[in-house]
A = this chain, B = another copy of it.
Amino acid sequence: MLTVTMLGCGGTQPLPGRALAALAVQAAGHGVLLDCGEGTQTALRRWGVSAYRLAAVLLTHYHGDHILGLPGLLQTLGSLGRTAPLVVAGPAAGQQAVADAVAALAGALPFAVQWRAAETPFAAGPLTVTPFALAHRVPCCGWALTLPRAGRFDPARARAAGVPLALWRTLQSGQAAGGFTPDQVLGPPRRGLKIVYATDTRPCPALQAAAAGADLLCMDATYAADADLPKAKLYGHATCREAGALAAAAGVRRLWLTHYSAAVTDPAPGLAAAQSAFPAAVAGADGLRLDLEFDKEETP
């Protein structure tokens, strides 16, 4: 129901074998791109993620390794014939200057770019995307992406309300029909899916709260060695061990480590450190992919 692709897992500079950190989330034919450093459009192609039906680009902050692929992506979307407006959301501070520079470099486009300050949740295709504050050295926001799941269909309520059988399927899918509304026939909303993307950041309470119970947390793990903790604090990043600890504290189901420093040539030691607190941690890797389904339930 929801596919997540890690387009890159590197920080600061794109490397031949490691693209800059970015994530693509696809649901029901719509896509959301998280961060867009230099080379992200190439990674989309490499991993077979269609850029055409992109609903929004969500930026965490305006450091180069998270935004410099934007002018090229916009030009490519234009050459693909896009005419639908594209939402680009990120922190309010500094956004106008970035928007102006990106527009100057991208040139004339056949679609509108709608810059949006990351302040309130909004819809991107079937997803609800919610920004929250991270702790970096510039204004930076994480993103929680949720795919809601309607309540279970209740035939007894449908019959009691007098809903004709021909409308059951439509109401069950969450759409109104024949004067009836889904809430007349559905139980309370069930657990949906939640993806949380959080880089660049120190571990912080807002992140732990936003990540609570997430199906997947993709988090800053710039440094592999615990000895680099002072650097992590200085530059506003996290160590792999800290990412594991936060994942455990937030009770997430899965953790992907990302935004590796170029000095991290072997992900194994950092992964081991993360797994000491969170055994299900996965080392970031370009092209890592995950298909998430709603939880299976017993038939009542």
Instruction: Using CB atoms and an 8 Å cutoff, list the residues of chain A in contact with chain B.
Output: 12-16, 37-39, 41-42, 45-46, 64-65, 67-69, 71-72, 75-76, 79, 97-98, 100-102, 104-107
- Could you jot down 19 A-B contacts, CB within 8 Å? A12-B79, A13-B41, A13-B72, A14-B39, A14-B42, A15-B45, A16-B46, A37-B72, A38-B38, A38-B72, A39-B39, A64-B106, A65-B72, A68-B68, A100-B104, A101-B101, A101-B104, A102-B105, A105-B105
Give Cα A46 to B104, complex, Å. Answer: 29
Q: Assuming A64-B107, A101-B101, A101-B105, is B38 touching A41 (CB within 8 A)?
A: yes
Give Cα A69 to B107, complex, Å. Answer: 15
Residues of B close to A64: CB separation below 8 A: 71-72, 75, 105-107
Say yes or no: B13 contacts A76, CB within 8 Å. yes
Say yes or no: A68 contacts B72, CB within 8 Å. yes
Residues of B close to A14: CB separation below 8 A: 39, 41-42, 72
Residues of B close to A41: CB separation below 8 A: 13-14, 38
